[in-house]
Amino acid sequence: MTAGRLIYVRLRNIRYLTRGEAIEIIRTVKEMQARSDSLRRNGKKIVLVPTMGFLHEGHISLIRKGRELGDDLAVSIFVNPAQFAPEEDFDSYPRGFWKDCQMTEKAGVNAIFAPDARELYAQGFQTYIRLEKLPMHLCGLSRPVFFRGVATVVSKLFNIVKPHTAIFGEKDFQQLQVIRQMVKDLNFDIEIMGGPIVREPDGLAMSSRNTYLTPEQRVQALCLYQSLKKAQERVISGVTDASDIIKEASAFILSHSQAVIDYAAVCDPETLEDVKRIDKPVIMALAVKIGKTRLIDNMMLGSEK
């Protein structure tokens, strides 16, 4: 086989992507569960990286981390309708399945679970998972259905892929905390790990939605990271009043003509409750619309991390 060339073949209604070793592309719950049951019977450790596809280097960093942690690495690719409100961008959310396959193949993934919506939400579906407190902050305030959808689909993926370890990006910090709480509350026997934010060379946090930005908006989007860096510098210099940090960051962001703030908050990393005085490590979290594109970012303040 020519090095670097991808060959697609079909066997028993399962599509494989091969370059020496096959990647199984699995579309049904039944097939994915059967595969995971077989691996577990043979003592293999399964690692899952859940994604909505349109992969970038941030996702690939999680996949590389997963490759080191287990015997079998699965990636889910599913744009989850349950976490989008009617006015949000479900229909236009960027997709690129075969490019995703090529990227995961290079990163050493063993299996891709890529169901369609009818496979996970059959007609008559009516069971959802809702957390009481963590979603009542940050993104949950402006996206009230979001975390119910996230918790539901992630719990389904855990029951289908049956991983020992699952990895999520820290850019979606609130989502990571919601999943950790859900795993604790519902006694999932799964280790949840976070992967650090991966940034472009100029600091912009990598996101599939960055593709929505025009060249001018792409420059303005840097205000999120720049404001976080300024906040970190202020805390290092001795500022402890969280409201001062938020005011300065907000003023800087709003000095950019296309920026509209959804929230700018300084929170306890565990509870996500607002913090007034910074006397221990806290998370500063931002959600800002640049034009019509909603971007999020965060940074730990008062910590060497």
Catalytic positions, written as ranges: 59
CA-based end-to-end distance of the chain? 44
Distances (CA, A) of 201 to 39, 205, 221: 39, 10, 13
Helix (H), strand (E) counts: the chain: 10, 11
CA 10: distance to chain centroid?
30
Tell me the C-alpha distance between 29 and 163, whole Å: 14
Instruction: Identify which of 8, 62, 38 has the alpha carbon closest to the alpha carbon of residue 194.
Output: 62
SS3 205: strand
256 with 280: CB under 8 angstroms?
no
- Count the alpha carbons within 13 Å of 102 in the hemisphere toward its beta carbon: 10
Distances (CA, A) of 200 to 58, 136, 160: 10, 30, 34
Sort 145 into a burial class: Cβ within 10 Å, 0-12 / 13-18 / 19+. middle
Phi, psi of 206 (to 5 degrees): -65, 135
Kindly state the tokens that stand for 194. 């976070």
Instruction: Identify which of 29, 73, 23, 17 has the alpha carbon closest to the alpha carbon of residue 50.
Output: 73
